[in-house]
Amino acid sequence: MNYHIKIINQLVDNYSYIICDDKSNEAIIVDPADEKPLLEFLKNNKLKLIAILITHHHSDHTAGIMKIKKNYDVEVYTPNKKINGTTKYVKDNDKINLNFINFEVISTPGHTLDHVVYFSKKEKILFSGDTLFFYGCGRVFEGTNEQMLNSLNKIKELPDDTIVYCGHEYTYKNLEFILDELVHWQDKGATKSKCKELINERGSSMPFNLGHQKNMNPFLNCNDIHYKQGISNFRKNEGKIRADASELDFFNFIREKRNNY
């Protein structure tokens, strides 16, 4: 591995990322909202920006594109031609070759209809935007819950040792939601304090391991009978959802509860 990924805090709780190649000093930005800290990092580290990757059209993932383009003549990969600054339109299954790293584009409609995630098979890293969060998933704004569930199931097929970088720091709140509203975990207190410590110490809970989330994230377990039993037996959910309810019914139930949490 000759690259590293710099996490750049954006706005209130957004993340942008800079993938930096340690050999060539080439860099790729994912989801720029506020160009200032991104440009500063590129300048301070004498990086040569070669591409911008965009997961979806929301302004907290795209607002920095045009100002970055004023400083760098760079390709902008987006899943929506209406996104200002798009030079390369991407769609499901496209392969992107970026000198030091390659990505596959996976279409994940739900949060928005244009949403895509970027997966590097070789490096086993995933930029999941607002589709998959640490212990959660994005709100369903434009698509249907069924689309969102299908999108998450596509991500679930990626290898367990995939390292995920998502679009927002919602981790602690997601975890609190699971523990307050969904299931009883033995090590509840320890899990919460470990998560809080991690965020306090490093300033971020990113990145996270996909295999871990396949076991722990409720939105990735809507077809897991044990997880479902845990949810339906939880005192607050008694009589509200049956353990044998369908995968989509479970997703609907959990998403609705999270929306109101």
What does the binding site for Fe ion look like in residue numbers (CB under 5 A)?
Answer: 58, 130
The torsion angle over the Cα atoms of residues 61, 63, 69 and 71, rounded to 10 degrees, is -110
Measured between alpha carbons, how far is residue 47 from residues 52, 139, 245 in Å? Answer: 13, 35, 52
Q: What whole-number distance in Å separates Cα of residue 106 and Cα of residue 108?
A: 6
SS3 content of the chain, % helix, strand, coil (to 5): 35, 25, 40
Residue 27 or 76: the one with the smaller Cβ distance to Fe ion is 76
Shortest distance (Å) from residue 143 CB to Fe ion: 12
Shortest distance (Å) from residue 57 CB to Fe ion: 8
Q: What whole-number distance in Å separates Cα of residue 155 and Cα of residue 10?
A: 25
Q: Which residue's Cβ has the minimum distance to Fe ion? A: 58
Residue 58 or 257: the one with the smaller Cβ distance to Fe ion is 58
Q: What whole-number distance in Å separates Cα of residue 37 and Cα of residue 167?
A: 16
Residue 58 or 258: the one with the smaller Cβ distance to Fe ion is 58
Residue 139 or 242: the one with the smaller Cβ distance to Fe ion is 139
Residue 61 or 69: the one with the smaller Cβ distance to Fe ion is 61
Residue 113 or 199: the one with the smaller Cβ distance to Fe ion is 113
Shortest distance (Å) from residue 58 CB to Fe ion: 4
Shortest distance (Å) from residue 236 CB to Fe ion: 28
Shortest distance (Å) from residue 134 CB to Fe ion: 16
Shortest distance (Å) from residue 14 CB to Fe ion: 9
- The DSSP string of 31-92 is S-S-HHHHHHHHHHTT-EEEEEE-S-S-HHHHTTHHHHHHH---EEEES-TTSTT--EE--T
Furthest-apart CA atoms within the chain: distance in Å: 59
